């Protein structure tokens, strides 16, 4: 069985739709513009966390349909840009375009890297930015115009670090997909585990050939693996290739093993992996529950 280290409010286990629905609802409630409201959305549509980007796009689609049929004080439209999960300067360029060209009154950003880049621009232009997948502690320092609906990763990484030590991990190998939020996870792991980290291997987004890395870890006598992927498919490839090499080291990860696609790709090979996650979201909000019902009806997969 998959084993989850459940950290309260770390992630919405089955659907992320609430993370975009809530900031959108907040913006609807205090908008004071006399004319139409443009909400810019910067989502990870390529490079990393693409599954989360797809959920954001689905949420935008349903919200657009809902808002077009409701009798509201303002009209609302969404403009979407690919922030590539903060790789390069994609989210900076996206934020500048959304504000300067599309006239966005507010921005909703996805990953930590996207939120940080967009947040710098938003703070300068006095445009409110809400990060919906932003776990990096640096988001706290961005300024008064920057908010997030996602938990800070620092506590979660501390908990899983404690779990690794408690389980007897003395020689830890960290495999990191090179995007901003996984870079931060790696730095926190190193801070918490110190000299127990005997190997750090970084690879480009969507890289899938890990045999040489895993063999190197074996040669260094690593007794614990932390698979620090930014996509479920990446972590699945690490798990599958480690099993082909008959490596039996305990494995740990972020929330990627909770994704359905991960389970489909790994099957029983991922039995025993420990990962950060939270229980299912339960909300008493009538608006959210109605929205969730529509989401499931439209996107049952």
The CA-based dihedral angle spanning residues 217, 221, 226, 229, taken in that order and rounded to the nearest 10 degrees: 0
CB atoms within 10 A of CB 194: 10
Sheet containing strand 128-133, strands side by side: 76-82, 37-43, 106-111, 128-133, 146-148
CB atoms within 10 A of CB 223: 18
How many CA atoms lie within 13 Å of 209's alpha carbon, on the beta-carbon side?
1
17's enclosing H/E stretch is helix 17-30
Q: Which two tokens stand for residue 241?
A: 């290739």
Q: Which two tokens stand for residue 272?
A: 């025993």
Q: What is the per-residue pLDDT across 227-261, written as a single tens digit (0 to 9) for each?
A: 999 999 999 999 999 999 999 999 999 888 988 89
Rounded CA-CA distance 34/51 in Å is: 36
- Please choose, from the candidates 224, 215, 122, 92, the residue with its C-alpha nearest in 3D space to the C-alpha of residue 171: 224
Identify the pLDDT of residue 175.
Answer: 98
Q: What is the pTM of this model?
A: 0.77
Identify the pLDDT of residue 18.
Answer: 43
> Residue 238: CB partners within 8 Å, gap ≥ 6?
175, 210, 214, 225, 227, 229
E-assigned strands of the chain?
A: 3-6, 37-43, 76-82, 106-111, 128-133, 146-148, 172-177, 197-203, 224-228, 251-253, 274-277
How many CA atoms lie within 13 Å of 174's alpha carbon, on the beta-carbon side?
27
Sheet containing strand 274-277, strands side by side: 3-6, 274-277, 251-253, 224-228, 172-177, 197-203
Per-residue pLDDT for 116 more than 90? yes
- Please choose, from the candidates 179, 235, 21, the residue with its C-alpha nearest in 3D space to the C-alpha of residue 226: 235
118's enclosing H/E stretch is helix 112-125
Identify the pLDDT of residue 35.
Answer: 67
Q: What is the per-residue pLDDT across 189-229, written as a single tens digit (0 to 9) for each?
A: 999 999 999 999 999 998 999 999 999 999 999 999 999 99
Rounded CA-CA distance 112/117 in Å is: 9
What the chain holds in terms of domains, given with CATH numbers, is 14-150+280-298 (3.40.50.2300), 153-270 (3.40.50.2300)
Identify the pLDDT of residue 278.
Answer: 60
Mean pLDDT rounded to a whole number for the chain: 86
Rounded CA-CA distance 219/161 in Å is: 23
Rounded CA-CA distance 34/42 in Å is: 24
Identify the pLDDT of residue 21.
Answer: 53
């Amino acid at each position: 069985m998959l084993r989850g280290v459940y950290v309260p409010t770390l992630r919405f286990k089955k659907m992320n739709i609430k993370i975009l629905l809530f900031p959108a609802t907040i913006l609807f409630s205090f908008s004071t513009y006399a004319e139409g409201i443009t909400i810019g959305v910067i989502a990870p549509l390529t490079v990393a966390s693409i599954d989360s980007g797809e959920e954001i796009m689905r949420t935008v689609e349903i919200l657009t349909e809902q808002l077009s049929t409701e009798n509201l004080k303002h009209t609302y439209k969404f403009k979407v840009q690919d922030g590539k999960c903060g790789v390069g300067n994609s989210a900076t360029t996206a934020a500048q375009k959304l504000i300067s060209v599309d006239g966005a009154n507010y921005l909703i950003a996805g990953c930590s890297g996207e939120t940080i880049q967009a947040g710098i621009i938003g703070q300068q232009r006095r445009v409110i930015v809400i990060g919906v997948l932003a776990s990096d502690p640096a988001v706290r320092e961005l300024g008064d115009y920057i908010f997030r609906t996602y938990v800070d990763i620092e506590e979660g990484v501390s908990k899983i670090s404690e779990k690794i030590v408690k389980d007897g991990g003395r020689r830890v190998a960290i495999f990191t997909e090179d995007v901003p939020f996984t870079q931060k996870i790696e730095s926190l792991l190193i801070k918490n585990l110190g000299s127990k980290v005997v190997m750090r291997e970084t690879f480009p987004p969507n890289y899938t050939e890990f045999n040489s890395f895993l063999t190197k870890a074996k040669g260094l006598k690593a007794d614990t693996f932390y698979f620090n992927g930014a996509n479920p498919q990446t972590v699945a490839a690490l798990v599958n290739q480690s099993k082909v090499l008959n490596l039996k080291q305990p494995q740990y990860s972020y929330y990627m093993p909770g994704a359905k696609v991960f389970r489909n790709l790994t099957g029983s090979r991922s039995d025993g992996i420990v990962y950060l996650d939270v229980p299912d979201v339960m909300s008493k909000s009538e608006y959210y529950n109605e929205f969730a019902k529509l989401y499931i009806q439209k996107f049952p997969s």
